[in-house]
Structure 1
Amino acid sequence: MPQITLPDGRQIQYAAPITAHQVALDISLGLAKATLAAQVNGVLVDSQTGIESDASVRLITTKDPEGLDILRHSCAHLLAMAVKSLHPTAQATIGPVIDDGYYYDFAFERSFTPDDLLEIEQRMRELAAANLPIQRRTLARDQAIELFLAKGEHYKAQLIQDIPADEVLSLYQQGEFEDLCRGPHLPRTGLIEHFKLMRVAGAYWRGDAKNAMLQRIYGTCWADQKSLKAHLHRLEEAAKRDHRKLGTQLDLFHFDECAPGAVFWHPKGWTLFQQLISFMRQQQNDAGYVEVNTPDVMDRGLWELSGHWMNYRDHMFTTTTEDERIFALKPMNCPGAVALYARGIRSYRELPLRMAEFGKVHRYEPSGALHGLMRVRHFTQDDAHIFCTQAQMQQECAQTIQLIFNIYRQFGFTEIKVKLSTRPENRIGSDENWDVLEGALHGALASQNIAYQINPGEGAFYGPKLEFVLCDAIGRHWQCGTLQVDLNLPERFDISFINEHNERERPVMLHRALFGSLERFIGILIEHYSGILPLWLAPVQIVVLSISEAQAEYAKTVFRLLKQAGFRAKLDVRNEKIGVKIREHTLQKVPYLVVLGEREMAESQLTLRSQAGENLGSFSHAEAIEQLRSLSKIVPIDAEVLGG
């Protein structure tokens, strides 16, 4: 006689075992139709799973994040069913849920084509419309292996062989198709309505380049047609904003196979890069940081001491000298910062010591993972390492969080999510130390009245961390900044300071990055602003245009005045139609154009035109410079308006 307790505290007594679907039906017919699964005593289960004893039950619909994941997971199974229906020799492997959708990997003798995708999607719709019941059953490990081998599904059999021998496996069946899965799943295929197959890509079995190449079909699935349409629109907008395309169009950077994963910065792109560094340098200077620089190549012994050699060796570029010493290009700046701190005896009067570094790091990323500026092998981090006492730790965390929020808002990012990753199972240090470190981050966020999400067990092995996630102009989320608190490296390197009692004391080390990678942050900015960067950041801020050759000398005078005033200006006195020149520089996303004709020259004035084509009026030289200085102030900007 189970007693069911609902999230609102209401309790329902039943005389016999019950299912979540029946609980929903007792509340309302509409809720029963909307219920996809349930959370029973904190565990997600199918809506038809029997509940035999007292339990807390939360009904899951598409309004819940778990509901959308279940919908997408069931859609991945529908995809596999459709592929097997049309191509019986294809082998199904895995089909997980990902951001905004799902994928499924297949082994097949030929490549899937766009026409295949259309046919597969149509078959999915037919199978969904059939409203097939989705049913769960369990099998012992050996029985499951035998079942899938009999079906020719060798990849599934390999997956099962890696599962502990005593574990009971669950399978889900819809029609004649059956798949290995932990679940839960929808009760029937008819609930899958709003989906689309997106593309095909290559993927190695189990992510290992030594294994066979599979075909990965990506799809998206949503609770309603409106959400699906909005997602497809975002993808179209994202394609227009692709930083790789805009980087070429705006002549900012390029990549070359002579240096895979490294950026060749063109003059305009390097100007943008340096503007970001100058901006951050000033912000850090105002916040009490000192700037340092550490070597790019350091001895293996340093990386062994820091722990990176054991945990990160496969991602490091190394070289061996004639005397057999092994050196590594630094993948991180932290050990160098500790080596700087360790130089000499430190006093508590020096703390907190905030050391910032624009450090170039190198990490070996698989070639298939490289993606424009977003994923590279050689990049620059705006790192900082703060050494402080335990008493100073929470305040330093709070000030760092405030700095991060202030800086992001100056780029027009107003929606910022914070995630707190807590102690993982495999960690070093005592629980008491972890309590102190996690407490400092909790307290720092609370002092700023900042809401945050907890990611249990997702911290680094040496300490908890905060992640700062930005929402861009078209609603995409980018994880950028991080703040970590660490007692591990100070202990490994045995660093200390002399406290007020003239005793050695171990400092706390805070690891902090705001942009994260400058390269990646530039890619995010290009897409956020759709290439139309704010005036203070734009590589070329103003172009001076002459309407005819008669204004060429006057244009040169105006150009010199703007340069002397500190603006990044260009001059265009070509013997070309003014409409052509305006179009060219507009396509180059230049924020402002100065147009000079006979009237402007006669009156010693200039006409300002915005990137959007708005005529801002005529100004004297001094008025124009003052107006442009006002426009170039760093203030929070509505990127959605700028980005079109």
Structure 2
Amino acid sequence: MFAVRLLDGAVRQFDHPVSVAEAAAHISPKLAKAALAGRLDGALVDTSTLIERDAALTLITDQDKEGLEILRHSSAHLLACAVKELYPEAQVTIGPVIEEGFYYDFAYARPFTPQDLKAIEQRMRALTQADQPISRRTVSRDHAVQYFKGMGEHYKAEIVASIPDTEEIKLYSQGSFTDLCRGPHVPSTGRLKYFKLMKVAGAYWRGDARNAQLQRIYGTAWASRQELDAYLRRLEEADQRDHRKLGKQLDLFHLQDEAPGMVFWHPKGWTLWQQIERYLRARLDASGYQEIRTPQMMDRLLWERSGHWQNYREQMFATESEKRDYAIKPMSCPGHVQVFNHALRSYRDLPLRLAEFGACHRNEPSGALHGLMRVRGFVQDDAHIFCTEDQVIAETIAFNTLALQVYKDFGFTQIDIKLALRPTLRAGADAVWQRAEQGLREALTACALRWEERPGEGAFYGPKVEYHIKDALGRSWQCGTLQLDFVLPERLGAEYVAEDNSRRRPVMLHRAILGSMERFAGILLEHYAGALPAWLAPVQAVVLTVSEGQAEYARQTEQRLKKQGFRVEADLRNEKIGYKIRAHALQKIPYLLVVGAKERASQTVAARARGGLDCGVMRVDAFIEKLRDELKVLNGF
């Protein structure tokens, strides 16, 4: 006899081995029908997994996060099965789950077309209707290699060959299709009902541009028709909010092949940039930061001492002059340590907060570049706090307060906190990492924050707190970071004179609130669908004439508003007023001030807010006060 303990504390006794599915049936036939997988003593398993001893069992359904991931992973296998049935010459490679969906990479002689995608999706639906059982078997590494080679699946054989001998090799089969996978998977293809194929894109084998190019088919899968339809509606809305389209429509910026991943800012776009920077600079100044500027390019030897050359070289641009090797900075940290080291620092100088709007360059793969969201040349709102270990908690609380206020001012109120822990490739001893990770945990606790831990995702020199903001569509964007670093100060010789006159290493807190300024501008554009708040809008108001008779009054009103510091234009074109209103509405101008003969005579304006809202006829002074009140976010401190 053995006992299976359930999540609710109930216990079931069995005198013979039972599968997870059979155990579920003893618990509740309804729950057994809904179960996609199980968690057995903490490990995710298929419902076919046998239980032969005392164990704790949790059933996983499509209402669980793990259940949705299993649905999506099984959908990736369903996609591969359909492709192999329709195009037997295609070779399968990898098919992982991604956020809100999945993809599978294929090697195939010709490009897949939109018609191919329709045919593949139809075959996937036929496979779900057939409700084929999905089975698992464990094989030896050599057997799996020979199996896939015999099928002509050379990519899959290469994957198997790279798996360590200590790892179990599992093969999953449905119908005539067999794939390598860790699992678990749904019990049968009939569980996969709500999916859609989205697009085809290029990809390199193992993500290396030196390898063969593959075709990546993206799809999405959900637990219900309602969730799938809602997701597709969000995609449609996201497409309308695409910052690249808005950048062109609103004449903000452009990108071109001569400078891949570098942004050409137009006057209106640069005005938006300046408002973001002006606001943040004022916040930093009020929070005790000192702004500095460090070189764009520094000797390779400094980057070797910092550890970047060994751990970050592939993403760095390098150059040479007079037989010296240089790197263009991908981040500002080593430069800030040089400023700290340039003077003899005392414990009385700490915490020292050094900030820089630092221009950085990173050699991102060309295929990963995406408008403002993924670039090669960007500016970080970078800062480094040099402090004692006793000051870490206070500085973390201060930074957290500042970051949350900044996000709120920009219109973001939903913030998720993640704690990224030590990666495989890292500098510093494990004891130092343990100290740093525990220090951040204590600091987050002091901030009264809840957080999710992410093993393996820290920077190479220290763990980091990540701030993920949610936009109007519920999408999450990782912007702010706070990294606790004991390593870099030691590598670069930073020290201060302690109260007892001894020399000690400072703790270094790397922190950013917006992250990349370019990316944050793109997030703002998509969050507001281009209809930026008045304090950020490149043009805050336009004065429009009904006829030529109001031209002089319109110019006077424009100049009067400009003298108050507002960004205003006058539209004196000899066009119908309805035409001009529509044109500026498409430009998402916050306020349109219409002046006709009556307004000129009464020295007033007929104000219209964005969206067609009639604000009524008012004197110019009254409008000035109204607009000034909206700009208090920028001018309120």
Same fold (TM over 0.5): yes
Query: Using the alignment, how far apart are the partners of 1:542 and 1:263 within structure 2?
Result: 26
Equivalent residue number for residue 401 of structure 2: 402
Task: Identify which range, 626-635 or 237-246, moves more after superposition.
Answer: 626-635
Shift, 1:573, TM fit:
0.8
User: Does 2:449 match 1:450?
Assistant: yes
Cα pair 1:555 1:596 within 8 Å, conserved: yes
Shift, 1:365, TM fit:
1.1
SS class of match (1:634):
helix
Equivalent residue number for residue 133 of structure 1: 133
Query: Using the alignment, how far apart are the partners of 2:10 and 2:257 within structure 1?
Result: 64
Q: 1:268 to 1:397 in 2, by over 3 A?
A: same
Query: Using the alignment, how far apart are the partners of 1:28 and 1:68 within structure 2?
Result: 21
Cα pair 1:46 1:186 within 8 Å, conserved: yes
Equivalent residue number for residue 76 of structure 2: 76
* One-letter amino acid of the structure 2 residue matched with residue 237 of structure 1: E
Equivalent residue number for residue 317 of structure 1: 317
Listed as ranges, the matches of 1:222-233 within 5 Å are 222-233=222-233
Q: 1:315 to 1:193 in 2, by over 3 A?
A: same
Listed as ranges, the matches of 1:67-216 within 5 Å are 67-165=67-165, 167-216=167-216
Amino-acid identity (%): 57
Equivalent residue number for residue 640 of structure 1: none
Equivalent residue number for residue 341 of structure 2: 342
SS class of match (2:633):
coil
Equivalent residue number for residue 373 of structure 2: 374
Write out per-residue CA displacement over residues 249-271 of structure 1, whole angstroms, 9 at most, x where no aligned residue. 10000112121111000000011
Shift, 1:432, TM fit:
4.5
Shift, 1:165, TM fit:
4.4
* One-letter amino acid of the structure 2 residue matched with residue 493 of structure 1: L
Shift, 1:164, TM fit:
3.0
* One-letter amino acid of the structure 2 residue matched with residue 63 of structure 1: Q
* One-letter amino acid of the structure 2 residue matched with residue 39 of structure 1: R
Shift, 1:633, TM fit:
2.6
Shift, 1:425, TM fit:
4.8
Cα pair 2:20 2:38 within 8 Å, conserved: yes
Query: Using the alignment, how far apart are the partners of 1:548 and 1:117 within structure 2?
Result: 55
Shift, 1:30, TM fit:
1.2
Cα pair 1:418 1:469 within 8 Å, conserved: yes
Shift, 1:381, TM fit:
0.3
Shift, 1:458, TM fit:
2.5
* One-letter amino acid of the structure 2 residue matched with residue 312 of structure 1: Y
Shift, 1:33, TM fit:
0.8
Cα pair 1:354 1:385 within 8 Å, conserved: yes
Shift, 1:524, TM fit:
0.5
User: Does 2:461 match 1:462?
Assistant: yes
Equivalent residue number for residue 590 of structure 1: 589
Cα pair 1:385 1:512 within 8 Å, conserved: yes
Cα pair 2:392 2:443 within 8 Å, conserved: no
Equivalent residue number for residue 475 of structure 2: 476
Q: 1:167 to 1:328 in 2, by over 3 A?
A: closer
Shift, 1:334, TM fit:
0.3
* One-letter amino acid of the structure 1 residue matched with residue 411 of structure 2: G
Equivalent residue number for residue 255 of structure 1: 255
SS class of match (1:288):
coil
Equivalent residue number for residue 599 of structure 2: 600
Query: Using the alignment, how far apart are the partners of 2:101 and 2:508 within structure 1?
Result: 39
Query: Using the alignment, how far apart are the partners of 1:247 and 1:186 within structure 2?
Result: 43
Equivalent residue number for residue 62 of structure 2: 62
* One-letter amino acid of the structure 2 residue matched with residue 537 of structure 1: L
SS class of match (2:63):
coil
Cα pair 2:393 2:446 within 8 Å, conserved: no
Cα pair 2:139 2:170 within 8 Å, conserved: yes
* One-letter amino acid of the structure 2 residue matched with residue 415 of structure 1: Q
Shift, 1:440, TM fit:
2.7
* One-letter amino acid of the structure 1 residue matched with residue 239 of structure 2: A
Listed as ranges, the matches of 1:196-595 within 5 Å are 196-322=196-322, 324-595=323-594
Query: Using the alignment, how far apart are the partners of 1:105 and 1:298 within structure 2?
Result: 40
Write out per-residue CA displacement over residues 131-182 of structure 1, whole angstroms, 9 at most, x where no aligned residue. 1110001111121122112222111111112123464411111111111111
Query: Using the alignment, how far apart are the partners of 1:554 and 1:91 within structure 2?
Result: 71
SS class of match (2:319):
strand
Task: Identify which range, 483-492 or 52-61, moves more after superposition.
Answer: 52-61
* One-letter amino acid of the structure 1 residue matched with residue 381 of structure 2: D
* One-letter amino acid of the structure 1 residue matched with residue 467 of structure 2: F
Query: Using the alignment, how far apart are the partners of 2:143 and 2:46 within structure 1?
Result: 23
Write out per-residue CA displacement over residues 347-366 of structure 1, whole angstroms, 9 at most, x where no aligned residue. 11111001110000011111
Query: Using the alignment, how far apart are the partners of 1:500 and 1:395 within structure 2?
Result: 19
Query: Using the alignment, how far apart are the partners of 1:68 and 1:326 within structure 2?
Result: 49
Listed as ranges, the matches of 1:621-640 within 5 Å are 621-634=620-633
* One-letter amino acid of the structure 1 residue matched with residue 75 of structure 2: C
Q: 1:579 to 1:14 in 2, by over 3 A?
A: same
Shift, 1:430, TM fit:
4.5
* One-letter amino acid of the structure 1 residue matched with residue 616 of structure 2: G
Query: Using the alignment, how far apart are the partners of 1:276 and 1:329 within structure 2?
Result: 25
SS class of match (2:345):
coil
Query: Using the alignment, how far apart are the partners of 2:2 and 2:89 within structure 1?
Result: 47
Shift, 1:428, TM fit:
4.1
RMSD: 1.3
SS class of match (1:539):
coil
Task: Identify which range, 190-199 or 206-215, moves more after superposition.
Answer: 206-215
Query: Using the alignment, how far apart are the partners of 1:6 and 1:168 within structure 2?
Result: 27
Query: Using the alignment, how far apart are the partners of 1:279 and 1:469 within structure 2?
Result: 21
Task: Identify which range, 60-69 or 150-159, moves more after superposition.
Answer: 150-159
Write out per-residue CA displacement over residues 205-255 of structure 1, whole angstroms, 9 at most, x where no aligned residue. 111112211111111000000000010001000100000010011000011
Query: Using the alignment, how far apart are the partners of 1:545 and 1:130 within structure 2?
Result: 65
Contiguous gaps of at least 5 residues in structure 1: 636-644
Query: Using the alignment, how far apart are the partners of 2:630 and 2:336 within structure 1?
Result: 38
Cα pair 2:351 2:387 within 8 Å, conserved: yes
Task: Identify which range, 452-461 or 277-286, moves more after superposition.
Answer: 452-461
Cα pair 1:141 1:166 within 8 Å, conserved: no
Query: Using the alignment, how far apart are the partners of 2:143 and 2:422 within structure 1?
Result: 38
Equivalent residue number for residue 5 of structure 1: 5
Shift, 1:475, TM fit:
1.0
Write out per-residue CA displacement over residues 422-469 of structure 1, whole angstroms, 9 at most, x where no aligned residue. 234554445553343223322222223221111123222322110110
Contiguous gaps of at least 5 residues in structure 2: none
Query: Using the alignment, how far apart are the partners of 2:440 and 2:189 within structure 1?
Result: 45
Query: Using the alignment, how far apart are the partners of 2:232 and 2:304 within structure 1?
Result: 48
Cα pair 2:262 2:375 within 8 Å, conserved: yes
Equivalent residue number for residue 639 of structure 1: none
Query: Using the alignment, how far apart are the partners of 2:167 and 2:404 within structure 1?
Result: 47
Q: 1:343 to 1:229 in 2, by over 3 A?
A: same
* One-letter amino acid of the structure 1 residue matched with residue 188 of structure 2: R
Shift, 1:57, TM fit:
1.3
Equivalent residue number for residue 24 of structure 1: 24
Cα pair 1:2 1:51 within 8 Å, conserved: no
Shift, 1:313, TM fit:
1.6
* One-letter amino acid of the structure 2 residue matched with residue 619 of structure 1: M
> Which contiguous aligned blocks of 4+ residues in structure 1 show a shift greater than 6 angstroms?
none
Query: Using the alignment, how far apart are the partners of 2:277 and 2:332 within structure 1?
Result: 17
Query: Using the alignment, how far apart are the partners of 2:508 and 2:165 within structure 1?
Result: 44
Write out per-residue CA displacement over residues 358-417 of structure 1, whole angstroms, 9 at most, x where no aligned residue. 000011111111110011111000000000011101110111111111100111111100
